[in-house]
Homo-oligomer: A and B are copies of this chain.
Amino acid sequence: MSEELKFAIELAKEAGEILMNGFDRVRVEKTKADKRDILTNMDLEAEKIIIEKIKQKYPSHQIDGEEYGRIKGDSDYLWILDALCGTKYYAKGIKLFNVSIALWKGDEPIIGVIYLLTIGDLYWAEKDKGAFCNNKRIRVSDIDNLKEAIIYLDMASSDKLRVEEHKLFSKRLELISKHAYRFRALGLGGFACCFIAQGGYEAYFDLSGKEEVLDVAAGIVIAKEAGATITGLDGKFHGQNVSHLIITNGKIHNEFLKLLNSK
């Protein structure tokens, strides 16, 4: 395990502890894109501690966080954070949320740590070293056809799509509901990536096309190292541009791509 991975795991645990102790004092600081898109004091607290520790240990590295934005540096290395992924649940006292920490080198994902702290599961992966859940190696599922596949859908900003965008959204949603076994939508992209890595779902798709890299930066590493194939709608990987991202167990990737691109 590299020093950076060990460090990322420590950070995730530390942020997790802050969040677990914060239920009683969580408050909404402001709304973002809309009334339901909230930022709480706990998002800020958890992210701040992570940023400070990274700056201390890797002063030249860049950092991209959900709340404090981009912190530039001289290095190609970029830490991508979502210290509290699942704020809407958290703010209601619902224990579905995670800490997500990734290290990328430019457009190449290197390290991913996702801590589903409320259920006690720590997922992590490192380039070319495999993916793990609580130190146990995990692998994508063997399901090789869409008819048996469970598809996870992300739908960031789906209420803000333009007419043409919503037409495509609806068309693809209908195709998926017709040709796959089931679709799922938790509002937790990080969970979905982990579940694909563990064989519980077969695919992730950013249905609205508005996904930001913060939500999947760590999940991409974990899914990939568990055997997933990751591309855009054109079948190519586009690094930090994750609009319409597709992650599958590999075995259904071509069939799913074809479905999504069908006229």
Q: Which residues of A contact B (CB under 8 A)?
A: 34-36, 88-89, 92-96, 116, 118-121, 133, 147-148, 150, 155, 158-159, 166, 169-170, 173-174, 177-178, 180-187, 195, 198-200
Contact = CB atoms under 8 A, between A and B. Distances in A.
A241 B185 CA distance: 26
A24 to B, nearest CB: 11
A93 B199 CA distance: 9
Nearest to A152: B185
Contact of A198 (B92, B147, B185, B186): B92
Interface of A: prevailing SS:
mixed
19 contacts: A34-B148, A35-B148, A36-B148, A92-B198, A92-B199, A92-B200, A93-B198, A94-B198, A95-B120, A118-B118, A150-B187, A155-B183, A158-B177, A159-B180, A166-B178, A173-B173, A173-B177, A182-B185, A185-B186
Contact of A200 (B94, B182, B184, B185): B94
Query: Which of A147, A169, A185 has the most chain B CB atoms inside 10 A of its CB?
Result: A185
Contacts of A88: 150, 200
